[in-house]
Amino acid sequence: MKIFAFIPARYGSSRFPGKPLALISGKPMIQHTYERALRCPDLEAAFVATDDDRIARCVQGFGGKVVMTASTHKSGTDRIAEAARKMGFDPDDIVVNIQGDQPLFDPGVISEMTRPLVTDIGLPMSTLKWRIQESEEIMNPNHVKVVTDENHHALYFSRHPIPYCRDVPCDGAHFKHLGFYAFRMSFLSTFTTLPMGVLEGLEKLEQLRALEHGYRIKVIETRYDSIEVDVPEDVGKIEESLSRPVKCG
């Protein structure tokens, strides 16, 4: 059983065209993300999965590994599934999906997220949550919330604030879903063949597809938040944070 990471990257974006190549302190964002991934010792290798020659040339230019994919994929998961199939991974291998627009993620979260799949061969998929600190994030539909059962399996993901605290204060009750996923290779192949569920279509959250079809998702709480770059104005926030130390494990 080996662990491989993919960073899906596309050039087109309605809010931020060319986002993977945006310079952050003089370095392309995709390079920041890729180098962070390499700092996790549990990874056998990391790759960028893209359909764009400009991104591929950039990755090759800084010495990264790239896998070219079709341009028809509707999600990053579909893109990394094609790339992983091309690499010929074993069914029990673990494939990690790292969002390319989170260039300051702590490499240790990869170890936290993949550990359950290493110890439980029957677990198909895992992801991360972070306890929300600011009330503004609870109401923000771009910050997906997640609720879990007592065994830390996902019950539901939503852009709406969940849970709803009817009679008691909500302090510390809300968790933000961080957009990292770990799949067992055998399940990743299955996942991409499942039809879109009703809830997935409504919320526009692909992880709901697994729940709607009866699959478990282990949700690991991490103490590390991850800042996303959604629009060009976010680049400044990332540059202000680059001086923070990076740890793994």
Domain boundaries, the chain: 3-130+177-195+216-225
Averaged confidence pLDDT in the chain: 91
pLDDT at 249: 45
pLDDT at 14: 63
> Which CATH architecture fits 3-130+177-195+216-225?
Alpha-Beta Complex (3.90)
Helix (H), strand (E) at residue 85: helix 76-87
- Please count the residues of the chain: 249
In degrees rounded to 5, what are phi and psi of residue 31? Answer: -70, -40
Strand partners, 221: 129
pLDDT at 164: 93
C-alpha atoms less than 13 angstroms from C-alpha of 65 in its C-beta half-sphere: 12
Amino acid, single-letter form, for residue 219: V
What is d(CA 122, CA 116) in angstroms, rounded to the nearest whole number? 10
Q: List Cα–Cα distances, 10 to 13, 68, 73, 162, 181, in angstroms.
A: 8, 11, 10, 31, 18
Pairing mode, if any, of strands 45-50 and 27-28?
Answer: unpaired
pLDDT at 239: 74
What is d(CA 224, CA 244) in angstroms, rounded to the nearest whole number? 12
pLDDT at 200: 94
Helix (H), strand (E) at residue 236: helix 234-241
Strand partners, 99: none
pLDDT at 244: 54
Q: In which residue ranges of the chain is pLDDT below 70?
A: 14, 230-231, 243-249
Best CA proximity match to 81, nearest among 49, 33, 36: 49
pLDDT at 100: 86
Q: Could you please report the per-residue DSSP string of 175-225?
A: EEEEEEEEEEHHHHHHHTTSPPPHHHHHHT-THHHHHHTT---EEEE-S--
Q: How far is CA 31 from the centre of its chain?
A: 16
